[in-house]
Chains A and B, each alone.
Chain A
Amino acid sequence: MKELEIDALKENLPQVLAFVDEELESVECPMHTQTTIDIAVEEIFVNIASYAYESGVGNAVIQIEILREPLSAVITFIDSGKEYNPLAKEDPDITLSLHERKEGGLGIYMVKQSMDDVAYEYKDGKNIFTIRKILD
Chain B
Amino acid sequence: MDVNVTKNGTELTVEVVGRLDSLTSADLEAELDDAYEGVELLIMDLGKLEYISSSGLRVLLGASQIMDEQGKMVVRNVTEPIKKVIDMVGFDSVLNIE
Contacts and interface: CB of A to CB of B under 8 A. Distances in A.
Given A10-B23, A11-B23, A43 B53 contact: yes
A106 B81 contact: no
A13 B53 CA distance: 12
Nearest to A43: B54
A35 B68 contact: no
| Chain A interface helix/strand/loop/mixed | helix
A94 B22 contact: no
Contacts of B52: 39
Given A10-B22, A39-B53, A101 B94 contact: yes
A110 B88 contact: yes
Contacts of A95: 90, 93
Nearest to A93: B90
B57 A35 contact: no
Interface of B: 21-23, 51-55, 57-58, 61-62, 64-65, 68, 81, 84-85, 88-90, 93-94
